[in-house]
A = this chain, B = another copy of it.
Amino acid sequence: MFQTLVGKPLNNLKPFFSPQSVAIIGASDDLNKFGGRVLNRLIEFGFGGRIYPVNPKREKVLNLQAYPKLNSLPEVPDHVCIALPAKSVLDAVDECAKFGVRFCTIFTSGFAETGTEEGKKLQNKIKLIAEQSGMRIMGPNCNGLISFINNFAISTTGALTGENCIPGNVGIVAQSGGLGQVGLMYRAIELGMGISHQVSCGNQADLGVLDFVEFMVDDPATQVILMIVEDMGDGQKLRKVAEKAANKEKPIVILKLGRSEAGRLAASSHTGALTGEDDVASAAFRQFGLMRVDDCNQLIDYAMFLRNNRLPKGNRVAAITASGGHAVLVADLGGSMGFDWADYAPETHKALNNIMPAFGQATNPTDLTTEAFASSGMFAEAISIISKDPNIDVTIPVLTINKSVDIKVGADFVRKTSRPAAMLWTGKCLDDRNLTASSLIETNVPVFRDTLACLRAVQGAMNYGIFLRSRIGEKYKVKRPTKINLSKAQKILGASENSKLGENESRFLLEAYGFPSLKTKAAENEKDVVEFSKKIPFPLVMKIDSPDIFHKTEVGGIRLGINTTKQATQAFHSLLASAKVAVPSARINGVLIQEMAPEGTELILGASVDLTFGPIVTIGFGGVYTEIFNDVSHRVAPVVEEEAMEMLGELKGFSILNGARGLPKRDLEFVAGLIVRLSWLINDLHMEIAEIDINPLSVYENGKGAAVLDALIIKKTKMENQFG
């Protein structure tokens, strides 16, 4: 049916952004109509390629020759836009595929975002055509794209009218037109920031946010990528795209919606998005090197600093200003963010003291005092001195209301210095109204008007620098630990008839992945109890062994500190009796007799499968810490030992493990090793396992390891399995 393209989905989206020829199905002279506005914008934006309006009712549309049907065109256009009512869209898409079109954009609304079965069905049909034909489709329910680099715009956005649109190196991808084209693109243009390409990709029937981000990662014109996403789609794909971006040192800043329940609800009625746990998303972004922010202006702030591609080598920051108040504010906010206002080198002190007023001090941040407004050249000289200081990683000249000479000194310094620098300019220029923040931003100077925004952007870049440096060398290369017996684990999993694996089965499965295991025997009768109580050294723990009882403590199903065989047999009968009363229907295998592990610091170690990111590993403090303080850390599996150590370091209670309050330091390396093992377990078996809960994991002093005191593994239902 779609002979030309079958089996060859096109992954190089370049012609999508820089076509030689474009057709608009539904093109119109009426600028109140979508098809009229899109065509008009394309012409006005100065597109240099061939434009084919398709409209069976007209000879000409907006002075261009019109064509009655797609297949009456003299060529197969590189990119076809569909601006038709929803009911006519499917036929048009079909026509495109048959004509051999490779790229198609559908603006029309009325599909999955309506939440109706009909809308979803219609969208699925579009998806199917894309899959069968290999034609790539953006939309439906989208507002197109603008390629500033290629003078190509297919969108109804009013953001471009009358604006000074400078092409730049910041790429923008969003589902929403309002956020992507107004909240981000228009606001960036207004500020003077140049954009490479902007995409508002709507419902993502075929091409999604990640496809466009990947294009921009590959695109030489784009250095920083800003993305806003309601429906992340495939978390593993994000990981691959992020990996590619990291290899090219192209930062990605992300605004992901759906932090709150209200947000998730609104998103699902906007684009039909279904998303996983938000704190898992945050953890995954950190892990992949994406910078997460909360609002559109923060995305722009980050791009402001990152687009010059100069990353701080450390957190030693210097600021210089003639406003003492600003020096205090910058010092204060930076200090609370962990900036090191490093002491200047002796030669810097000496040189600064030579030019500073009698009561000024060459501290950092450096307050030149109001003398700097009066003394011509003082600001320039001070900046020049500080720019040579070896102790500084980032320099921030802070301007308020200054003469153009000082503004220019600050801007020139930021523009030319080889080290990262940002200009904070809260006021205006006294003697030149045309010298504005935007006029500097247009020439690629990172200028911020608000202190916190400036420092946060610098901090983001610092963190990105740390991320990139952490990837150098071998230690972040994913490697499978030794002593993993996957087939044994699969056998244990397959053999269990229950949806939840009991403690003993869970223990065997964990053993297959190299977990330590307490000496345990399953006793079915009193004779077993007597025998086993002589084989395992006292004191013992005894637990009810039933496939139907999972919260053993709550049904009186555990006895601790058993010191004699007599106590053991008593406990055996008492456990059976308790279980019978508490859960009369429970199948009872007998009791587990286990060596009693010494007391340690109790952690929980878990694994689960996130809707977006797939297999996840989690470490946290047990009991009240997890439930009340939510003190947990997540990563997408599998992880390497360095990442596992980072997870431990992220815990608010980390210092408890690390020897706070005179307690002995705990065996962090051992726990990290277990995190790695569990991450591989869930990575290998996430099609069968829904959840693993090792609780508590008792952790001992350095060198003494940890013990799994209890574990529970929940298998996926058939339904869950199907949706992976």
Interface residues of A (CB under 8 A from B): 32, 109-110, 113-116, 119, 157-159, 161-162, 174-180, 182-183, 186-187, 190, 228, 230, 255, 257-267, 269-271, 294-298, 321-329, 331-336, 339, 341, 358-359, 361, 363, 365, 367, 369-370, 374, 400-401, 426-428, 430, 433, 449-453, 624, 627-629, 652-653, 655-656, 660-661
| Contact among B323, B624, B628 for A179, CB-based, below 8 A | B323
A25 to chain B, nearest CB (A): 19
Residues of B within 8 A of A175 (CB): 325
Q: Determine if A159 and B365 form an interchain contact, defined as CB atoms under 8 angstroms apart.
A: no
Q: Determine if A359 and B113 form an interchain contact, defined as CB atoms under 8 angstroms apart.
A: yes
Residues of B within 8 A of A190 (CB): 428
Residues of B within 8 A of A161 (CB): 430
Further contacts, 20 of them, CB under 8 A, given A258-B332, A271-B324:
A109-B370, A113-B359, A157-B401, A159-B427, A175-B325, A179-B326, A183-B325, A183-B427, A259-B332, A260-B336, A262-B332, A262-B335, A263-B329, A265-B331, A266-B363, A267-B328, A269-B361, A294-B333, A628-B652, A629-B652
Which interface residue of A183, A332, A339 has the most chain B CB atoms within 10 A?
A332
Residues of B within 8 A of A367 (CB): 266, 269-270
Q: Determine if B401 and A263 form an interchain contact, defined as CB atoms under 8 angstroms apart.
A: no
Residues of B within 8 A of A628 (CB): 652-653, 655-656, 660
Known A-B contacts A335-B260, A656-B624; the reply to A359 vs B109 at CB < 8 A is yes
User: Which residue of chain B is the closest to A119 with respect to CB atoms?
Assistant: B359
A328 to chain B, nearest CB (A): 4
A298 to chain B, nearest CB (A): 8
Residues of B within 8 A of A341 (CB): 262
Q: Determine if B627 and A660 form an interchain contact, defined as CB atoms under 8 angstroms apart.
A: yes
Residues of B within 8 A of A294 (CB): 333, 452
Q: Please measure, in the bound complex, the distance between the C-alpha atom of A130 and the C-alpha atom of B655, giving whole angstroms.
A: 53
Residues of B within 8 A of A426 (CB): 178, 182-183, 186-187, 296
| Contact among B262, B335, B401, B450 for A295, CB-based, below 8 A | B450
Known A-B contacts A374-B32, A430-B158, A627-B661; the reply to A266 vs B179 at CB < 8 A is no
User: Which residue of chain B is the closest to A141 with respect to CB atoms?
Assistant: B324
A455 to chain B, nearest CB (A): 9
Q: Please measure, in the bound complex, the distance between the C-alpha atom of A452 and the C-alpha atom of B259, giving whole angstroms.
A: 13
User: Which residue of chain B is the closest to A323 with respect to CB atoms?
Assistant: B178
Q: Determine if A401 and B326 form an interchain contact, defined as CB atoms under 8 angstroms apart.
A: no
A-B pairs, top 6 by smallest CB distance, nearest first, are A176-B325, A263-B332, A178-B323, A260-B335, A262-B335, A114-B359
A228 to chain B, nearest CB (A): 7
Which interface residue of A159, A264, A270, A335 has the most chain B CB atoms within 10 A?
A270
Residues of B within 8 A of A255 (CB): 329
Q: Please measure, in the bound complex, the distance between the C-alpha atom of A261 and the C-alpha atom of B338, giving whole angstroms.
A: 10
Q: Determine if A295 and B333 form an interchain contact, defined as CB atoms under 8 angstroms apart.
A: yes
Q: Determine if B178 and A451 form an interchain contact, defined as CB atoms under 8 angstroms apart.
A: no
Known A-B contacts A653-B624, A655-B628; the reply to A329 vs B179 at CB < 8 A is yes
Can you report 8 A-B residue pairs in the complex whose CB atoms are below 8 A from each other?
A158-B427, A177-B323, A183-B400, A257-B332, A263-B329, A269-B367, A270-B328, A295-B451
Q: Determine if A331 and B263 form an interchain contact, defined as CB atoms under 8 angstroms apart.
A: yes
A320 to chain B, nearest CB (A): 13
Q: Determine if A262 and B331 form an interchain contact, defined as CB atoms under 8 angstroms apart.
A: yes
Q: Determine if A335 and B263 form an interchain contact, defined as CB atoms under 8 angstroms apart.
A: yes
Known A-B contacts A116-B359, A452-B295; the reply to A257 vs B627 at CB < 8 A is no
Q: Please measure, in the bound complex, the distance between the C-alpha atom of A487 and the C-alpha atom of B180, giving whole angstroms.
A: 70
Q: Determine if A653 and B627 form an interchain contact, defined as CB atoms under 8 angstroms apart.
A: no
Q: Please measure, in the bound complex, the distance between the C-alpha atom of A260 and the C-alpha atom of B624, giving whole angstroms.
A: 30
Residues of B within 8 A of A323 (CB): 176-179, 182
Residues of B within 8 A of A660 (CB): 624, 627-628
Q: Determine if B427 and A186 form an interchain contact, defined as CB atoms under 8 angstroms apart.
A: yes
A286 to chain B, nearest CB (A): 18
Q: Please measure, in the bound complex, the distance between the C-alpha atom of A270 and the C-alpha atom of B328, giving whole angstroms.
A: 7
Q: Determine if A295 and B627 form an interchain contact, defined as CB atoms under 8 angstroms apart.
A: no
Known A-B contacts A259-B335, A263-B336; the reply to A325 vs B624 at CB < 8 A is no
Residues of B within 8 A of A400 (CB): 178, 182-183
Known A-B contacts A333-B295, A401-B159; the reply to A257 vs B369 at CB < 8 A is no
User: Which residue of chain B is the closest to A270 with respect to CB atoms?
Assistant: B324
Known A-B contacts A186-B401, A269-B361, A627-B661; the reply to A262 vs B430 at CB < 8 A is no
A265 to chain B, nearest CB (A): 7
Q: Determine if B624 and A329 form an interchain contact, defined as CB atoms under 8 angstroms apart.
A: no
Residues of B within 8 A of A259 (CB): 332-333, 335-336
Q: Determine if B653 and A332 form an interchain contact, defined as CB atoms under 8 angstroms apart.
A: no
Q: Please measure, in the bound complex, the distance between the C-alpha atom of A430 and the C-alpha atom of B31, giving whole angstroms.
A: 14
Which interface residue of A176, A263, A294, A661 has the most chain B CB atoms within 10 A?
A263
Residues of B within 8 A of A266 (CB): 327-328, 331-332, 363, 365, 367
Q: Please measure, in the bound complex, the distance between the C-alpha atom of A336 and the C-alpha atom of B115, giving whole angstroms.
A: 24
Q: Determine if B329 and A295 form an interchain contact, defined as CB atoms under 8 angstroms apart.
A: yes
